[in-house]
Amino acid sequence: MSDMRLVVVGAGGRMGRALITAVTEMDGVVLSGAIEREGSDCLGMDAGTLAGVGENGVPVTEDALAAFAASEGVLDFTTPEASLWFSELAAQARIVHVIGTTGISAEDEERIAAAGRHCPTVKSGNMSLGVNLAAQLVREAARALDEDFDIEILEMHHKHKVDAPSGTALMLGRAAAEGRGIDLDSRSVRTRDGQTGPRPKGDIGFATLRGGSVVGEHSVILAGEGERIVISHIAQDRSIFARGAVKAALWARGRKPGLFSMADVLGLTGA
């Protein structure tokens, strides 16, 4: 089979550059386009040079329509607004859409799912093997322990991150809620300040830290009387997300349209 032609959108971003590197280094894929937003300083640059992997002759352009028409898949770690737009373009072009963007509203999630009825779409708040496995462990731990164990989720990311809690923290929270058989939205506590009163039994708490260049760290703490279980994941390099995204594109190639998760790609049931 020929190499899968992949276009990277948000090519100049932290993940965009990691994705160009992953596509360059991995077998079975080739970079067919690199897209940035109108007015970006990256327009016209060579995508390989931009990512630091050597000139590859693929210019960064703003013409997503033309790039999608010449590609079999799109790797998209951008912004919620941009991902919504790219989901419509991918649906029209009937190409694989891999979405890593976080902070997407519930309403836009539904629109992305609707677009996924026309093209294979893989979407996950975290494309790494480790986090998806951790989500499985969290689900199992929450299933095994009763509400005497309080569940708290702590995350830290770099100072440039614009959404909170992280997509991964929410994914881990969903896994815990599923394990416990409760609805996350009605039982999650996103902030605490002032006279909060004692902790209600059964809530799932979230705490967010931001600073420096931290790639991404998550801990799920199950705190009981006299003991604590902590399930943690530390991302040391963005290549784990980028390589996961390329794997997802290859997995989705030739599949029927639908919305899939990284757990489907990795063969982990229900993560």
CB nearer ligand LZUJQKHR, residue 46 or residue 109: 109
Contact at 8 Å (CB) between 12 and 40?
yes
Vertex 211: Cα angle to 205 and 214 (nearest 5): 90
- State the catalytic residue, choosing from 97, 118, 123, 157: 157
Q: Which stretch binds ligand LZUJQKHR (CB under 6 A): 88-96, 161-169, 178-186, 223-231?
A: 161-169
**Residue 2 C-beta: closest distance to ligand LZUJQKHR, Å:** 31
Total interface residues for ligand LZUJQKHR by CB under 6 A: 10
Neighbour-count burial for 194-212, b at 16+ CB within 10 Å, e otherwise:
eeeeeeeeeebbbbbeeee
Identify what 157 binds: ligand NDP, ligand LZUJQKHR, none; CB under 5 to 8 Å per kind: ligand LZUJQKHR
10 touches ligand LZUJQKHR by CB under 6 A: no
Return the residue of 166, 188, 219, 261 that touches ligand LZUJQKHR, per CB under 6 A: 166
Alpha carbons 207 and 1: distance in angstroms, whole number: 46
15 makes contact with ligand NDP (CB under 6 A) = yes
Q: Answer yes or no whether residue 79 interacts with ligand NDP by CB under 6 A.
A: yes
- Which partner, ligand LZUJQKHR, ligand NDP, none, binds residue 83 by CB below 5 to 8 Å per kind? none
Query: In angstroms, what is the minimal distance from the CB of 268 to ligand NDP?
Result: 15
- Give the one residue of 5, 17, 161, 247 binding ligand LZUJQKHR; rule: CB under 6 A: 161
Binds ligand LZUJQKHR by CB under 6 A, chosen from 5, 157, 180, 243: 157
Distance CA 203, CA 39 (A): 45
- Tokens matching residue 90: 């991918």
Taking a C-beta distance cutoff of 8 angstroms, is the pair 5, 72 a contact?
yes
Question: Which residue of the set 123, 161, 218, 233 is catalytic?
Answer: 161
Phi-psi domain of 59 (left: phi exceeds 0; alpha: psi -120 through 50; beta: other)? beta
Distance CA 255, CA 260 (A): 11
160 catalytic, yes or no? Answer: no
Sign of the CA dihedral with 50 first, then 53, 57, and 63 last = negative
Identify residues 229-248 at the interface with ligand LZUJQKHR (CB under 6 A): 235
Cβ(77)–Cβ(103) below 8 Å: no
Residue numbering of the annotated binding site for NADP(+): 37
What's the burial of 215, exposed, middle or buried (CB within 10 Å: 0-12/13-18/19+)? Answer: middle
In the DSSP assignment, the letter for residue 46 is B
Is 161 designated active site? yes
| 102 counts as binding ligand LZUJQKHR under rule CB under 6 A | yes
Which is closer to ligand LZUJQKHR, CB of 125 or CB of 179?
125
Amino acid at 111: R
Q: Is 165 in the site for ligand NDP (CB under 6 A)?
A: no
Is there binding between residue 260 and ligand NDP (CB under 6 A)?
A: no
Q: Catalogue the active-site residues.
A: 157, 161
